Amino acid sequence: MLDTATKKKIDDARDILVGKVPVPSTQVEQITIALIYKFMYDMDNESIELGGNPKYFTGDFAQYAWNRLFDPKLSGEGRVNLYQDALARIPANASIPTLFRDIFKNAFLPYRDPETLRLFLKTIDEFTYEHSEKLGDAFEYLLAVLGSQGDAGQFRTPRHIIDFMVELIDPQKEDSILDPACGTAGFLISAYKHIIKTNSSNYDPVKDPHTFDNHGTPLDELISQNGKKYTGDLLTPDQRAYLHNNIKGYDIAFEMVRLSLVNMYLHGFNTPQIYEYDTLTSTQRWNEYANVILANPPFMTPKGGIRPHQKFSIQAKRSEVLFVDYMLEHLTSNGRAGIIVPEGIIFQNGKAYKELRRLMVEENYLVGVISLPPGVFNPYSGVKTSILWIDKKLAQKTDKIIFLKINNDGFDLGAQRRPIAANDLPAAFANAMAYKKALLSGEEYNVPEKDVILAEKAMLAEKKDFNLDGERYRPALKSLSHYPVTALGEFCIIGSGNSAPQEATKFVNGKYPFFRTADVGKLHLSDNLISSTDYLNDDGIKDMRLFTKGTILFPKSGASTLLNHRALLGVDGYVSSHLATIKPDPTKAIPKFIYYLLMVFDAREITYNPSYPSVKISEIAKIKVPLPPLSVQEEIVAELDSYQKIIDGAKQVVDNWKPRIDIDPEWEQYEIQKIAVINPLKKEVSNLSSELPVSFVPMSDLLTNRMTFTPLVSRPIGELLSGSYTYFKNNDILLAKVTPCFENGKAGIALDLLNGIGFGSSEYYVFRCTDKILPQWIYILLVSPYFRIPAIANMTGTGGLQRIPKSFINTFRIPVPDLSIQQAIIDRIENEQKLIDTNRQLITLYEQKIKDRVNKLWEGSS
């Protein structure tokens, strides 16, 4: 278990380095090298105390012994020189094991500040070498902290995801285990700990929790144990030796190899089997196989593609395809694997992708696919990923593939990934184990109603693309209702709208509404769509089909499809061809009743390629719904309308509330440029490493009428410094300066930025407060009518793209009372904000009530 004192030492070392070494991956290298340096000295001392001789710092290398760095006669500059010389010469010390020489290979000191080095070495000196779990846990924590900051993304898979995969694959003491893209050896360490745990007499498989069961533990404090000490006392010495020789990892980058070597060493591996090796282009280890493979291989492919050798069964240049192919080919006859893959592996239509999926399904590799939420790898990537569950023995026992869906993994999807209550990992694991048990016993598997789909392999082969998106194979809901279940196409006229006129003249002085996808998306859900952005004139509606009031609009292309926007026309109007139109037979169904049913239908069930979302009219026509008598429909609509009125009322409160200040004329007023820095210069951070990860905030992530926002994306600062992006830091205020974002209230205070730095749209103004004013005060004034009304009046530019001039911002005068008065007013407004948040909760509650009532129709409730 990671103790508080050890955690603090790691944090202190990072805090000392960050001023001179801002890049997290370089921080971890410096701490790693210094720890091993110190531990070699500790082992020499231990040997001397036991009557032996030192073996690391002897002969010419005695001058580099750790304690020499603390000689009071040594100047600060002398200490820097001695430490640099030691790092350069230790790899040449033939008397130390190859492991340590490899760790010090290419080691260097990236700064020359004597005081920073003194403080850093003093902190490292507080660590002592002992063969205990404590040091291994400390190193895991170090890697986790740096991984959570983003730069370590290339080598850090979240601990709870690693342990979920290890528990799923269940490596045994007789297995050979491989990670061909091992990074820092996280999977290998977790597999080893799993074997130690399951071979300990105090292990209780029922009561002992998994790492992924944790609730409330910060992500960077998770380690692959549950607080219980396991010794592996049921393992024989020969079995331990076998494990140490048969847990192997490859990585192309020496920096990763170094970290893996240290990680394995600190977990008791005296001679770790970690190799600097290019898995995709080298053939030296091609003939080595494993019973278990666990990996999160790189998704990125260099420009021009990979140039692999000819031994791969699938000819491809994409790294994700080649890595999966490699792992499949290097499993033993009953081998099994857990592999994290990007969405391309799941549904891309390229020849290599389809062939890989065919191989997994038809050649009996694939047992299941576990869909992970898209924020699992935040902050460094929002990429959507899945886990391939490979088991050659298990796959031969079934003609089906199981699809498991994880919507929440116990952490939010923001850059900081804070703990939350929602966690689907335990349920997904239980479902996977139940399925595995059924296959092994030959019993029937009862498919749960939620987040599990079981599809026949023949279904995947039908269209010859072997698509692994589970939603594609979701069975039609089984109705327990005594109401008939009918396809929409049997009682509705379903079609598309009109192609939009291209001539601007057809919209001049228009009076007939022309509803586009954006009009539906603006409202998300609307049972009374009556206004549109564009209106057609008499010339514009020639040869156009008119859709009558009561027509249901269903987006059939673009992002709106996946966002499940729906609308019911409240007036007659014309409709874009990007919208499907649904008109029920009035003798069979009430339009609003069908609208409510479609509100809870997820269009992803009939969207086969989420990268290019589109829905066919023929698929909409196949959607089945329960169809009670009209009298029952009327009762249900009345009930749902009552819920909708509560939602509409709460939305009125939320939409119309704006923070307001009653301005006292006695308060002093200042031009904004006198009390805040406007658009701070990028040169403040131009000297930082180009690799430093920082937050990136596009306009879409800036909220409307919310004081703060959550940064979701990170990018290397080097990419952003060279662009036209706006720069800001924590506690700066962002304000959208362009239409319609400004009018909509897009503004917010930057908090929780990665490394305290952010970049974003060039359409932001950034305000940095002086000591006269609080960030919340400026924010409240900027979104209030006091500022917004004159700002809109002074906008310049064309009608469709107007902006607030910088000169207006600079000279606009705002009231600035004493800080105590500012704080008191801010407190009042924040209390009002809590009431608004209560209304937001009310909206969520009654939206769920609508869904629950609709779902009851499938149960026969009236």
| One domain for residues 793 and 687 | yes
Give the domain-ending residue among 130, 146, 162: 130
Whether the predicted pLDDT of 275 surpasses 90? yes
Q: Measuring CA to CA, which residue among 63, 128, 124, 55 is closest to residue 96? A: 55
pLDDT of amino acid 323: 94
| One domain for residues 470 and 527 | no
In a domain, 609, yes or no: yes
Band of the pLDDT at 152, cuts 50, 70, 90? Answer: very low
Among 71-85, 458-472, 485-499, 599-613, which stretch is predicted with the lowest mean pLDDT?
A: 599-613
Band of the pLDDT at 643, cuts 50, 70, 90? Answer: very high
Sign of CA dihedral 656, 657, 658, 662: positive
Tens-place pLDDT, residues 707-741: 888 787 788 898 899 888 999 999 999 999 998 88
Whether the predicted pLDDT of 386 surpasses 90? yes
**Do strands 733-736 and 764-769 pair parallel, antiparallel, or not at all (unpaired)?**
antiparallel
Q: Of the segments 63-77, 97-111, 471-485, 648-662, which one has the largest average pLDDT value?
A: 63-77
| One domain for residues 454 and 589 | no
Band of the pLDDT at 799, cuts 50, 70, 90? Answer: low
| One domain for residues 467 and 367 | yes
Q: Which residue has the higher pLDDT, 238 or 142?
A: 238
pLDDT of amino acid 149: 45
| Count of CB atoms situated within 10 Å of the CB of 302 | 10
| One domain for residues 593 and 559 | yes
Q: Can you tell me the distance from the alpha carbon of 759 to that of 697, in angstroms, rounded to the nearest whole number?
A: 6
Q: Can you tell me the distance from the alpha carbon of 552 to that of 630, in angstroms, rounded to the nearest whole number?
A: 18
pLDDT of amino acid 492: 96
In a domain, 715, yes or no: yes
Strand, helix or coil at 735? strand
In a domain, 183, yes or no: no
* Residue keyed to tokens 């080919």: 329
* Residue keyed to tokens 């140039």: 307
> What does the longest C-alpha to C-alpha distance in the chain come to?
103
Among 81-85, 150-154, 372-376, 455-459, which stretch is predicted with the lowest mean pLDDT?
A: 150-154
Whether the predicted pLDDT of 380 surpasses 60? no
Band of the pLDDT at 227, cuts 50, 70, 90? Answer: low
pLDDT of amino acid 131: 44
Half-sphere exposure of 370 (CA within 13 A, CB side): 29
Band of the pLDDT at 130, cuts 50, 70, 90? Answer: low
pLDDT of amino acid 604: 77
Q: Can you tell me the distance from the alpha carbon of 69 to that of 467, in angstroms, rounded to the nearest whole number?
A: 60
* Residue keyed to tokens 């379903």: 494
* Dihedral class, residue 150 (left if φ above 0, else alpha if ψ from -120 to 50, else beta): left
Nearby residues of 564 by Cβ (< 8 Å), 6 or more positions away: 599, 601, 602, 603
In a domain, 358, yes or no: yes
In a domain, 153, yes or no: no
| One domain for residues 3 and 117 | yes
Q: What are phi and psi of 462, to 5 degrees?
A: -55, -45
**CATH classification at residue 750:** 3.90.220.20
* Residue keyed to tokens 């239908």: 601
Tens-place pLDDT, residues 193-205: 999 999 999 999 8
Strand, helix or coil at 829? helix
| One domain for residues 712 and 774 | yes
Nearby residues of 217 by Cβ (< 8 Å), 6 or more positions away: 419
In a domain, 191, yes or no: no
Tens-place pLDDT, residues 307-351: 777 889 898 888 899 999 999 999 999 999 999 998 889 988 889
Residues of the chain with pLDDT > 70, as a percent, come to 91
pLDDT of amino acid 691: 82
Band of the pLDDT at 111, cuts 50, 70, 90? Answer: very high
**CATH classification at residue 453:** 3.40.50.150
Tell me how far the alpha carbon of residue 829 is from its chain's centroid: 32
Quick one: DSSP state of residue 372?
A: P
- Cβ 495 vs Cβ 546: under 8 Å: no
Number of domains present in the structure of the chain:
4
Q: Cα angle vertex 357, ends 355, 363, to 5°?
A: 90
Q: Measuring CA to CA, which residue among 381, 341, 375 is closest to residue 357? A: 341
Residues of the chain with pLDDT > 90, as a percent, come to 53
Quick one: DSSP state of residue 82?
A: H
Question: Pseudo-torsion of CA 463, 464, 468, 470, nearest 10°?
Answer: 20
Among 146-160, 468-482, 513-527, 545-559, which stretch is predicted with the lowest mean pLDDT?
A: 146-160
**Do strands 290-295 and 177-179 pair parallel, antiparallel, or not at all (unpaired)?**
parallel
Q: What are phi and psi of 588, to 5 degrees?
A: -115, -30
Q: Can you tell me the distance from the alpha carbon of 175 to that of 177, in angstroms, rounded to the nearest whole number?
A: 6
| Count of CB atoms situated within 10 Å of the CB of 205 | 7
pLDDT of amino acid 153: 36
Band of the pLDDT at 414, cuts 50, 70, 90? Answer: low
Q: Can you tell me the distance from the alpha carbon of 64 to that of 74, in angstroms, rounded to the nearest whole number?
A: 13
- Cβ 21 vs Cβ 111: under 8 Å: yes
Tens-place pLDDT, residues 749-774: 998 888 889 999 999 999 999 999 99
Whether the predicted pLDDT of 217 surpasses 80? no
Q: Which residue has the higher pLDDT, 32 or 605?
A: 32
Q: Measuring CA to CA, which residue among 583, 581, 567, 556 is closest to residue 491? A: 583
Quick one: DSSP state of residue 547?
A: B
Residues 525-534: what's their mean pLDDT?
A: 91
- What token pair was written down for 80? 């820097």
| One domain for residues 675 and 796 | yes
Q: Which helix (H) or strand (E) holds 49?
A: helix 24-49
Give the domain-ending residue among 475, 497, 527: 475
Q: Which residue has the higher pLDDT, 329 or 259?
A: 329
Query: What type of residue is 279?
Result: T
Whether the predicted pLDDT of 228 surpasses 90? no
Q: Which residue has the higher pLDDT, 678 or 522?
A: 678
Band of the pLDDT at 220, cuts 50, 70, 90? Answer: low
Q: Which residue has the higher pLDDT, 609 or 16?
A: 16
- Cβ 302 vs Cβ 286: under 8 Å: no
Band of the pLDDT at 680, cuts 50, 70, 90? Answer: very high
| One domain for residues 682 and 760 | yes
Give the domain-ending residue among 816, 831, 857: 816
| One domain for residues 534 and 429 | no
Q: Can you tell me the distance from the alpha carbon of 139 to that of 103, in angstroms, rounded to the nearest whole number?
A: 15
pLDDT of amino acid 304: 59
Q: Measuring CA to CA, which residue among 129, 136, 127, 154 is closest to residue 223? A: 136
Quick one: DSSP state of residue 429?
A: H
Say what the pTM is: 0.62
In a domain, 456, yes or no: yes
In a domain, 529, yes or no: yes
pLDDT of amino acid 612: 64
pLDDT of amino acid 611: 57
Residue 688 is part of which domain span?
Answer: 669-816
- Cβ 312 vs Cβ 300: under 8 Å: no
Q: Of the segments 82-91, 342-351, 411-420, 793-802, which one has the largest average pLDDT value?
A: 82-91
| One domain for residues 760 and 807 | yes
| One domain for residues 574 and 675 | no
Whether the predicted pLDDT of 658 surpasses 90? no
Q: Cα angle vertex 38, ends 32, 41, to 5°?
A: 145
